Amino acid sequence: TTTPTGTPTTEPTSTPTTTPTGTPTTEPTSTPTLTPTSPWTPPPTTTHTATPTATAAVTETSTPTPPWTPPPTATPTATPTATAAMTETATPTATPTPPGTPPPTDTPTVTPTPTPPWTPLPDTTAPAAVTNLSVIGATVNSITLTWVAPGDDGTSGNAAQYDIRYFNAPITSEAVWNTAMQVAGEPVPQPAGSTENFVVAGLSSGTTYYFAIKTADEVPNWSGLSNSPFGVTQSAGGGGWGGGAPPPQTLLLVVNLLGNMDQGTMTADGVLMESIDATAEDGVLLASLSQGTKVLGPDGKPLTRLTVIRVESLTSLPEGYLLVAAFDFQPDGSTFGKPMHITVNYEEGDIPEGCSEVCLVVAHLDNESGEYLFITGVVDTDANTVTFSIDSTSIVAILAPVPAPATPTLTLTPTPAPTSTPTPGYTETPTPQPTATPTPGPTEAPPPGLGPGAWTGIGLGALALLGLLLGLFVWQRRKRKWERVLQEIGWTPWSWEGRVKTT
């Protein structure tokens, strides 16, 4: 809207009104007749510098007729063309679109896609294979097995079922597994990590049997084959057992050497009926027990399980030693009637810097005192092994002595002796002394036991003494010379000394 700055000379007497009624008709009020333009096209905006114009929602183009007539205040519905008498012609009603208005666009309707209910992924993880199946007892017609329960998925959870089989040969392949005899009444798996026991009954006496086990989950996903231990049932009747009385029950010693399982049969009182040679999977440790060795636990009863684990650090090492390797033989306090022979393989990188392989020692923890006691061992630097024997179980450590600190080499730099500059003055001419000619005498042999080194020391000592005497002689001569000079100028030594101190 523009406010006119001038004063109009003529006031409008009426406001033109356009009333469309159906079909628009044009009735001229004066000789000039105006014909409406259809369709309506917005004309360009004309800017008046002298005479202001009013712009409504729809811009009008008018030719003002002096005197100036203000436009109507109502929003025009048509485009009138002004004449001298301001006669308008009705035009059809039109709804103009304001400038700058974008054309309408259709808003797309988003149709939500229904989300299907969540479907769990299929279970494809099988239980872990049993690796510690072992035989712990035997009778005339049964053998007792033990193992640690795996999980539903690997080593976690709770599995669903076991399949235990036995055969007259080691069950180490699927082909042998398929021909082995399945037992009946396998136990329901317990949670992962639990100890399982099962008695396989209905066996023949005096017979060797090999066993294996598989585990499945609820799908079922079956695990791989376990290890395949063996057991021997007892013989029935005769054979020196007292007229058909059953022989005493045999036991089994299971050795778990850093995760690798081995075993040996022993009598009811704990005497091994066969030798056991166990080796860790990585080959770092070997242990052997000979046949006839009596193996007892800390309670004095036959030991049925021996476990060896690696120890990474120790808190109470002997003073002055560094740790190379350590192993804990459990349970502590078990005893061997014959020594257990042990071999430890080491790498040169295991030796602390500054230590030598030949200095390696073996220490055995005393369970009663809690202190490490050194035991005899043999170091093979070519094979990088340490071999020793123990007769009881506890922690065994391979140690290296702490290297001694390097002694710094002291380098002595000789200091040049000061050069004395003689003072010009009174010079005393020395009195020649007669030179004594030594009388040759018998040559004495050097005392026994003195070699060239001893004589060299004696000579150096004599030269040092001679130099000292020469220095005293020179000092006495200089002292006498300065005393004479002072006496000649009238100063006594006391006055000279006093003057020097005063100054």
- Tens digits of residue pLDDT in 220-233: 899 999 999 988 88
The band of 487, judged by pLDDT with boundaries at 50, 70 and 90, is confident
Backbone φ and ψ of 488, nearest 5°: -65, -35
Mean pLDDT for the stretch of residues 253-281: 88
480, containing H or E segment: helix 452-488
Q: How confident is the model at residue 77 (pLDDT cuts 50, 70, 90)?
A: very low
Q: What amino acid is encoded at 133 in this protein?
A: L
CA-angle at 269, arms to 264 and 273, nearest 5°: 30
Q: In this model, does residue 204 exceed pLDDT 80? A: yes
487, containing H or E segment: helix 452-488
Highest mean predicted confidence (pLDDT) among 154-158, 318-322, 328-332, 463-467: 328-332
Residue 35 has pLDDT above 80, yes or no: no
Q: What is the pLDDT of residues 350-400, one digit of tens each?
A: 888 888 888 899 999 998 888 999 999 999 999 999 999 999 999 999 999
Rounded Cα distance between 112 and 171, Å, is 59
Distance CA 61, CA 43 (A): 6
Sorted by sequence, the CB contacts under 8 Å of residue 340 that are 6+ apart come out as 287, 288, 289, 293, 389, 390, 391
Residue type, 226: S
Please identify, in words, the CATH class of the domain defined by 275-401. mainly beta
What was the pLDDT predicted at 109?
A: 62
More confident residue, 25 or 464: 464
pLDDT confidence of 476, banded at 50, 70, 90? confident
**What's residue 330's pLDDT?**
94
Q: Average pLDDT, stretch 133-150?
A: 91
pLDDT of 15 strictly over 60: no
DSSP letters spanning 32-68: S-----SS--PPPPPPPSSS-----SS-------SSP
Mean pLDDT score, 345-350: 90
Measured CA to CA, the distance from residue 127 to residue 157 in angstroms comes to 9
Cα pseudo-dihedral 168, 170, 171, 175, rounded to 10: -80
Is the distance from CB of 196 to CB of 187 less than 8 angstroms? yes
239 conformational bin, left if phi > 0, alpha if psi -120 to 50, beta if neither: left
The CATH class that applies to domain 134-232 reads: mainly beta
| DSSP state letter for 209 | E
Portion of the chain with pLDDT greater than 90, in percent: 34
Is residue 39 scored above 60 in pLDDT?
A: no
Measured CA distances, 61 to 44, 46, 48, 96, 102 (Å): 7, 7, 11, 15, 24
Judge contact between 179 and 167, C-beta under 8 A: yes
* Residue 212: pLDDT band with limits 50, 70, 90: very high
b/e for 427-444, b at 16 or more Cβ within 10 A? eeeeeeeeeeeeeeeeee
Measured CA to CA, the distance from residue 225 to residue 173 in angstroms comes to: 8
pLDDT reported for residue 315: 83
- Point out the least confidently predicted range of 92-96, 347-351, 393-397: 92-96
Question: Would you list the domain boundaries of the chain?
Answer: 1-13+36-89, 134-232, 275-401
CA–CA distance, 333 with 289 (Å, rounded to integer)? 17
pLDDT at residue 144, rounded to an integer: 92
d(CA 249, CA 247): 6
Note whether 211 and 166 are within 8 A (CB): yes
Mean pLDDT, range 446-456, rounded to an integer: 58
SS3 415: coil
In the structure, what pLDDT confidence band is assigned to residue 153 with cuts at 50, 70 and 90?
confident
- Give the Cα separation of 296 and 337 in Å (integer): 8
For range 159-188, the mean pLDDT: 93
User: 204 versus 87: which is more confidently predicted?
Assistant: 204
Residue 149, pLDDT score: 93
Residue 50's pLDDT band (boundaries 50, 70, 90)?
A: very low
**For the whole model, what pTM was predicted?**
0.41
Binning pLDDT at 50, 70 and 90, where does residue 85 land?
very low
**Chain mean pLDDT for the chain:** 75
Query: Between vectors from CA 288 to CA 285 and to CA 294, what angle results, nearest 5°?
Result: 135
**Residue 281 zone, left/alpha/beta (φ > 0; ψ -120 to 50; rest):** alpha
Work out the pLDDT band at 288, boundaries 50, 70, 90. very high
Residue-level pLDDT at 489: 77
Name the pLDDT band for 481 (thresholds 50, 70, 90): confident
pLDDT at position 116: 62
Q: How confident is the model over 305-323, as a mean pLDDT?
A: 90
* Residue 206 predicted with pLDDT over 80: yes
pLDDT for 73 = 52
CB-based contacts of 37: which residues, under 8 Å, 6+ apart? 79
Is it the case that residue 18 has pLDDT exceeding 70?
no
In this predicted structure, the answer to whether residue 471 has a pLDDT above a threshold of 50 is yes
The answer on pLDDT for 239 being more than 70 is no
**pLDDT classification of 296: cutoffs 50, 70, 90:** very high
